Amino acid sequence: MSADTKALLDQVETLKTQLGEMVQQEAVWIAAIVRANGMIRDLTAELIEAKKTKTQADVKKKVSFAADGGVTITPVRAKEMKQTLSPEGKALPDSRRDYNEQCTRLQNGEVMCWDDADANKTRPGDMFGFRHQDDRVEIHQVTEVNGTDQRLPSWSRNVGQSKRNVLILTNPLCVIPWNDWEKFGWHASGSLMGTQRVANGEARTRIVEYVNTKIAGMP
CA separation for the pair 88, 33 (Å, rounded): 45
Per-residue model confidence (pLDDT) at position 17: 79
CATH number assigned to the domain covering 71-216: 3.10.590
Task: Say whether pLDDT at 55 is over 60.
Answer: no
What would the pLDDT profile of 82-124 be if each residue is shown by its tens digit? 776 666 666 677 889 899 999 999 999 999 999 999 899 999 9
Per-residue model confidence (pLDDT) at position 149: 87
pLDDT band at 14 (very low <50, low <70, confident <90, very high): confident
> Which residue, 177, 143, 155, 182, is CA-closest to 95?
155
CA separation for the pair 50, 32 (Å, rounded): 26
Per-residue model confidence (pLDDT) at position 82: 78
**Overall pTM > 0.85:** no
Highest mean pLDDT: which of 3-7, 11-15, 59-63, 149-153?
A: 149-153
